[in-house]
Amino acid sequence: MSPSPQLARKLRLTDYFTLGWGTMVGVGWLVVMDDWLGRGGSLGAILGFAIGGALLLPIGYVYAQLVMAMPDAAAEIAYTAKVFPAPLSFATGWMMVLAYFIVCPWEAVAIGRIAGYILPGLNSVPLYTIAARPVYLPHLLLGLAATAVITFLNYRGIGTSARFQNWTAFTTLALFVVFVSVGAASGSVGNFPPLFSGNGVFISIFLVIQIVPYFMTGFESVAKVAEEARPDLRSHEFFVAIMLAILVGIVFYTAVIAAVALAARWNTLRTTPLLTAVAFQQGIGSRWIVRIILAAALVSLVKVFNGNFVAASRLVFALGRGGWVDRRLSTIHPRNQTPSIAVVSTGVATAAAMFLGQALLIPVTEVGSVASATGWLAASAAYYAMRPTGGKRLISALGIVIALAMILMKIVPALPGHFNRYEWMALALWVLLGIILSAREKAVKRADRTR
């Protein structure tokens, strides 16, 4: 018998960095900058991302240790399976699928919104309305086209996907340096106020920290493709890629918020679509900077779409391989060496979810934050239970505390910015879907055993 096909082993350190950082940084800095500044004010938003990002360093350290010890596509599923009961392992994996998958339709929807700003004629042919947000036919077609391209790239092979990720990640960084430098040089400190929102200093920063897990989810995606490393890749390079992704992510977010606050009086632009682009246009007095920003946003959009798609499809593949969901999802294409059925399924689900339109954007941020923090909590707890020695045990304990705090700040009703009923409903539906799929697979196994 010929051996079963295996995932291709082609990834290098550069690929892991661009996947980790590229999966983290999308177009939130353009599409929902008004929400960030509204939550925290200029300085509150900067401090929120700086503090929230720094709090992720212990969690990044834990992931680096785990992926070096267990380079498994199952990632959190594999880590928790070592020390915890199997149902908890599945629940962790299912929540992390949500954390990555939910970004994919978010980006597919965002491409229509950005394109509509560039070409207003695309904001036409409304098909229906959800939560007072119209869904336009051209937006839908653009999102579906982007989803098809990303699905095709990932079906073809991890090498193709990695090259695409590298090109888009470094192009985004180059464009970012251009527009932030020009904007900061042309701006004024007098545009910064109000430094904090009307809720006070602490609440302003707190409300921003709440959403940081969503916008900085991605560094741990390195673990999902650990099986696809080149044979000559040294294990410590996983550590370098994860920590570098977090640090560059912190610099990116804080710098772009500061640049927007310097460029124009942002508080007068709160109701303006794509506040970032408008602020730079007003600050510099020229349209060319907007073209740079929108180019960076479009490149970044497809980059983060691709990165989250890779991570989500690998977790779906791992759940199928572990027998938690339909085992056909663990199929590996014999020539492309990709998890082909998992890739196609992720693409179809993304296309279906994007029909929710722009009403998806802000609620997704909230639910995605909790899903990410849940996976981080489980990974940190698993590492702690493995009894690492010395400072490693202390860092894992710190990771547990930080991840748990990030969950509680979104689900405790007494805290500002907690889940509303629609976000609870979305989370409950996802949990219910996981229970149904798992129960169905168990029923199939029982039926096979009785034959």
Phi-psi region of 444 (alpha: psi -120 to 50; beta: other; left: phi over 0): alpha
Phi-psi region of 41 (alpha: psi -120 to 50; beta: other; left: phi over 0): left
DSSP-derived 3-state class of residue 134: strand
**Is residue 228 situated within a structural domain?**
yes
**Is residue 316 situated within a structural domain?**
yes
Q: How far is CA 8 from CA 118, 153, 231, 364, in A?
A: 39, 14, 10, 32
Residues in the chain: 451
| Cα–Cα distance for residue pair 157/1, rounded to 1 Å | 25
Bridge partners of 126, per DSSP, are 136
Q: What is the DSSP code string of 258-283? A: HHHHHHS-GGGGTTSSSHHHHHHHHH
**Is residue 169 situated within a structural domain?**
yes
Number of domains present in the structure of the chain: 1
- Is there a contact between 222 and 245 (Cβ–Cβ < 8 Å)? yes
Bridge partners of 134, per DSSP, are 129
Q: Which of 181, 164, 162, 119 has the alpha carbon at shortest distance from 301?
A: 164
Quote the DSSP letter at residue 334: T
Structural domain span for residue 340:
13-442
DSSP-derived 3-state class of residue 27: coil
Q: Which of 169, 173, 61 has the alpha carbon at shortest distance from 402?
A: 61
**Is residue 359 situated within a structural domain?**
yes
DSSP-derived 3-state class of residue 211: coil
Q: Which of 227, 259, 229, 222 has the alpha carbon at shortest distance from 244?
A: 222
Q: Which of 378, 442, 402 has the alpha carbon at shortest distance from 81?
A: 378
Residue 96: CB partners within 8 Å, gap ≥ 6? 75, 76, 315, 371, 372, 374, 375
| Cα–Cα distance for residue pair 346/325, rounded to 1 Å | 14
CATH of the domain at 129: 1.20.1740.10
| Cα–Cα distance for residue pair 323/317, rounded to 1 Å | 10
DSSP-derived 3-state class of residue 373: helix
| Cα–Cα distance for residue pair 75/95, rounded to 1 Å | 12
pLDDT for 4 equals 63
**Is residue 263 situated within a structural domain?**
yes
pLDDT for 1 equals 42
Backbone angles phi, psi at 335, to 5 degrees: -100, -45
pTM of the model: 0.91
Q: Are strands 133-136 and 126-130 parallel, antiparallel or unpaired?
A: antiparallel
| Cα–Cα distance for residue pair 349/353, rounded to 1 Å | 6
**Is residue 251 situated within a structural domain?**
yes
**Is residue 246 situated within a structural domain?**
yes
**Is residue 8 situated within a structural domain?**
no
Write down the H helix ranges in 157-217.
Answer: 158-186, 201-209, 212-215
Which amino acid is located at 145 in the chain? A
- Is there a contact between 165 and 18 (Cβ–Cβ < 8 Å)? yes
Backbone angles phi, psi at 154, to 5 degrees: -75, -25
pLDDT for 185 equals 84
- Would you give per-residue pLDDT tens digits along the chain (451 residues)? 445 678 999 999 999 999 999 999 888 898 889 999 999 999 999 999 999 999 999 999 999 999 999 999 999 999 999 999 999 999 999 999 998 998 898 888 888 888 888 888 888 899 998 877 888 999 999 999 999 999 999 999 999 999 999 999 999 999 999 888 888 888 888 899 999 987 889 999 999 998 888 788 899 999 999 999 999 999 999 999 999 999 999 999 999 999 999 998 988 887 787 888 889 888 888 888 888 888 898 899 999 999 999 999 999 999 999 989 999 999 999 999 999 999 999 999 999 988 887 766 666 667 877 888 899 999 999 999 999 988 999 999 999 999 999 899 888 888 877 888 888 888 888 899 999 988 888 887 777 777 6
